[in-house]
Amino acid sequence: MPFSRLTRLALSLALAAGVALAGPSVRAGYDPVRKGAGDVRSKLNAMERKPFNFSLLGKLTDWKNGTTPTAQSLDDKVVLVVTYSDWYRPAARGLAIARRVLEAHGKDGLVVIAAHNPEGWKDAAKPAAPAGTTMLLAHDEKGEFRKAMLSAQDPNFYLIDRSGQLRFADIANESVEDAVAALVKEKREEAATLNEREAAEKLAREREALRSASINPDAELLKNLPELSFPQPTEKDYKDAKWPELPKSQNNNSGETPAEKRLTMPASGWSPQAPLTAGRAILMYFWHPGWPATFEQMQPYADLVQRQNQRDVVVIGALTNLERLGDSSDTQNMTDAEKAKRNLTADSALQKINEFRSVRKYEHTMVVDLSGSLLQQATSDRTIPIPYVAIASSDGVIRWWGFAGATEARGALDRILAVDPGVLARRKVELEYIKTIKKDSK
């Protein structure tokens, strides 16, 4: 199921144009994959979007390729800080990644600061900076810099924006290139006013929500409705519904109706718990933490779909088996440690899901599906565009499947919600319930 940079670009353009599933765009700006979990990750999150303490660089010694940098010398620069260990291959790759990114963006104002592990500095290679760039190497002799940065294991990456804020703390290796590319495009004043601008946008959204609530006083009541029993539609009701057209790639030329596809949910592996699906459509996307293209843009949009359709749609992120995803060069250039990150167990996969949901505060449900059975229920194709989604009606039958960035994806979801007999039956009972509650409260 190979993918390419062209596929990622197509998705980026589709989402930017607002033609993906979620409709309205989410907050602008790149959001990298972050490492860690629990209390440490919470502390790292708290360090982000705050002025970086440049005095910490004074804890590093024996500078190479230059002298100790200061806040003044780094003003209006994007700074990539990497902790690395020359004597340990996976950690030494941190410097190689930083150097590669510097070669691409040094001309854009990127500076690399590489802090070597307390051990092995004397015999470590100390390469010169690429021509025309700044790459400063130093020794974290006492480990004090790492301690202050909450860096437990090399390599770890941190990014400081042009205004001197620690923008991203301890991000995943695979996110470094895109995170740097995003920050070098910013102007200093844009970075400096980011928090204020987002606070203003949040306030505007809250005011709009209050305005909408005053127009629709049922909104909060709908959000907290109990599960109500409703008359179950018949098979004929579902058969007669005017469902969206099936994806063209799956339609044959013989005139025969394609075989029905149905989602069968797993019994375990859910976070936070198995969802209630009665009278609800299902939007399922397929992802793996080892392939950022499957989740970086898809997950924020999927979460927006869930929040916009609280009662009508169940959004599920299926962490599935995508080991064939990626071209040969992608796999060949990976270290053993990086390959290991893609080989998850049921327990480690659920832990990874919980990390994503906790750090990014997602509201939608996720599930472990390492066998790939859910994806196989959606398609038997060996090559798929990513992110890939399946949209099912309330009876579990998949009514549309394919590329999440396709314009047909949003149209299919809207159409299903408009004609799904289960959704309509549940809505009707809930509306009567609301009327009764209102009448009794008078």
pLDDT computed for residue 209 by the predictor: 57
Q: Is the peptide bond before 155 cis (omega within 30 degrees of 0)?
A: yes
Q: Is the predicted pLDDT of residue 295 greater than 80, yes or no? A: yes
Q: Is the predicted pLDDT of residue 186 greater than 70, yes or no? A: yes
34-171 to CATH, choices 3.40.30.10, 3.40.50.300, 1.10.357.10, 3.40.630.10 = 3.40.30.10
Per-residue model confidence as pLDDT tens digits over 14-37: 333 333 443 332 234 678 888 877
Q: Is the predicted pLDDT of residue 68 greater than 50, yes or no? A: yes
The DSSP call for residue 49 is T
pLDDT computed for residue 339 by the predictor: 54
CATH 3.40.30.10 boundaries in the chain: 34-171, 237-250+259-441
Q: Is the predicted pLDDT of residue 12 greater than 60, yes or no? A: no
pLDDT computed for residue 291 by the predictor: 84
**Residue with the larger pLDDT of the pair 439 and 423:** 423
How are the residues of the chain apportioned to helix, strand and coil, as percentages rounded to the nearest 5?
40, 15, 40
Inter-CA distances, 307 with 204, 300, 315, Å: 17, 11, 10
What's the pTM value of the predicted model, to 2 decimals? 0.55
**Class of 237-250+259-441 per CATH?**
alpha beta
Query: What is the rounded average pLDDT of the residues 108-116?
Result: 97
pLDDT computed for residue 11 by the predictor: 38
> Cα–Cα distance between 178 and 176 in angstroms, integer?
6
CB 396 within 8 A of CB 374: no
Query: What is the rounded average pLDDT of the residues 207-214?
Result: 58
Q: Is the predicted pLDDT of residue 251 greater than 70, yes or no? A: no
Q: Is the predicted pLDDT of residue 330 greater than 60, yes or no? A: no
Query: What is the rounded average pLDDT of the residues 63-70?
Result: 96
CA angle, residues 80, 141, 89, in degrees to nearest 5 = 60
> Cα–Cα distance between 235 and 214 in angstroms, integer?
39
CB 389 within 8 A of CB 21: yes
